[in-house]
Amino acid sequence: MISAGDFRNGITIELEGNVYQIIEFQHVKPGKGAAFVRTKLKNIKSGGVVEKTFRPTEKCPQARIDRREMQYLYADGDLYNFMDTENFEQMAMNAADIQDSMKFVKENEMVKMLSHNGSVFAVEPPLFVELEITETEPGFKGDTATGATKPATVETGATVYVPLFVNQGDKIKIDTRTGEYLSRV
């Protein structure tokens, strides 16, 4: 059990039969009345966000989220196939359940499968990936305006905005949380 006064970003709690992750929290002390904790909670299974207030002494059971490392094998239509590297057990996940988390992941890369009570609800890609640019407009000499970017397609099919000096065939480093270009490799 965790009290509302101890809430922090990223903590998962069980509430009303669902599992929520705390996105934002704020301790509020109004001039009149008792203090309270205002939170934004994300339902980890449906992805919906709700706002809820708690008294600081209110307690919620903390949800246990298991993270298991698995290897991404291949995509087959709307199914993504993964393998546990310890026991070689394979599992398939529907593309609708994964959403955008696989857009920067190549075949044979390691990802983390997040589960609660044995049911997998999300895939966590590596924080940073190195991908090759397959398509982009060429940069012209003299195009050095500060902060100018152009769209580029990487080998997984995702589009990333890169600086003008980056060309087709270059390998780049991408932050998978934001989808932003970090550097050339």
Q: Based on the domain organization, do 116 and 134 belong to the same domain? A: no
Residues 49, 23 contacting (CB under 8 angstroms):
yes
Residues 82, 88 contacting (CB under 8 angstroms):
no
Query: Which structural domain, as residue segments, surrounds residue 167?
Result: 128-184
* Residue 32 CA from chain centroid, whole number: 40
Q: What are the DSSP E strand ranges found in the chain? A: 2-3, 12-15, 18-28, 36-43, 49-54, 59-60, 66-76, 79-83, 90-94, 110-116, 119-124, 128-136, 149-154, 159-163, 171-175, 180-184
Q: Based on the domain organization, do 150 and 165 belong to the same domain? A: yes
The CATH number assigned to the domain holding 109 equals: 2.40.50.140
Residue 50 is predicted with a pLDDT of 92
The CATH number assigned to the domain holding 29 equals: 2.30.30.30
Q: Based on the domain organization, do 91 and 138 belong to the same domain? A: no
What residue has token string 């922090």?
8
* Residue 90 CA from chain centroid, whole number: 22
Pull the structure tokens for residue 173.
Answer: 């480093």
**DSSP structural state of residue 5:** G
Q: Is this prediction's pTM over 0.85?
A: no
d(CA 159, CA 150): 10
- The number of distinct structural domains making up the chain is 3
pLDDT in tens, the chain (185 residues): 888 888 888 888 988 888 888 889 999 898 888 899 999 998 887 778 999 999 988 899 988 888 889 999 988 888 888 998 888 888 888 877 777 788 888 888 899 988 888 778 788 888 899 999 999 888 766 656 567 888 999 988 889 998 888 888 889 999 888 888 988 88
d(CA 130, CA 173): 4
Residue 64's SS3 state is coil
